[in-house]
Structure 1
């Protein structure tokens, strides 16, 4: 990693502010539903990021925290989509803050975006700042809608939150590993980071769905069956050189095992009845 500089400092300050906002939210609303909503909000931001940022390359971050430019760019996106915006949305929803506050936070992010453009922390390709202003209130409303259904314990939303949470936790941990091991997956024998960030979320999407089966029926047979299915797909991906080295294969195998055991835990956390929810009611 690089030392703190004029580019990285604003990202660090924003991270501290939003982590503080998250801690305040969790202390004031000690409910499991708060964490479930946060993970769901992060997943919505990740889905948006995949299409707008990864696929269509709408903008570029320049925090100058990591030496590798493409990883540095991805880290900027991760901070935005996993910390800044989802935490703000969760805060607004949990405290039932109305449109005045939603518009205030939209203005807040708009000012940040303009400031980042001015100091060259952020570059636009085809994206325009007005898109951010128009889409953030929609995102905040989706957060409200999701929380309403979680509060009513509607099973489709509980199951979807379980699925999304498994993917979010695994994807975020995988990104941390990507930073340190610098191994990529892609098409062919030589993989770029762009290919990696296009394919790895799809991999996670499919395998998180398979990992949901142990949450539905949590026993050894189901876990073993899902693991064998995942290994078969992983070997197939290795044969066609999407996973092109031994280290990657070991990592995806460990990810598979992690998801298989994480899924029932997430389901139990999200579906748990009130009487067993202390300290998160």
Structure 2
């Protein structure tokens, strides 16, 4: 009975997070203003951590907000973080901030996704890239991974699809390793099984052929021309709500002058 309790208690869970972050008990203790002895007692179940100690350790271990709630519940405390639907009136400021950011980034593509890559907002730059994608992929609550990797989505237009696909799948694998999400695992298995279309051929006009060395570019065909982007992902700082914590803003910066000029000409 004791072994079962230890295997499912807050201590082993905290130890698992510490090991994932590759941090020693001493290092964590120094960061959290504690002692290695106390951290050891917490991890083995010999000491019951206070609510504040759990939150402090979670902060130094960079544990996702949803998982912090789970740690608190396992330890016998009430969840600390709410999960407010994005369409709730209380989230109006968040929605307005996202819309301003997306509009301000135009004509360059930008979108906001949740923890399972459902697109919750996108600007005209993204809509430009999605021209011609079939409606069944663009239906309400479209998924960014499906839009990108599905053989009827953007995949046939991406010139460096094998590299870009591998990078996206690796990103999902890292996320799955951190959060226990059956939905995310199912999505990964789905998109990883998609056939990989042959690269598009017969391009007449090429824009943005240069490949930057600082990051893997997305090189995508649009109306016979190649647009090249470098992507970046941003999240909200110190979120106190699970919904906000799991939102990610992905922006696509033109990787060359020709791509920037083309987008300005198409969108203004």
**Superposition TM-score tier, normalisation by shorter sequence:** under 0.3
- TM-score with structure 2 setting the length: 0.23
Give the number of the structure whose residues are more often strand, by fraction. 2
Give the number of the structure whose residues are more often helix, by fraction. 1
- TM-score with structure 1 setting the length: 0.23
Larger radius of gyration: 2
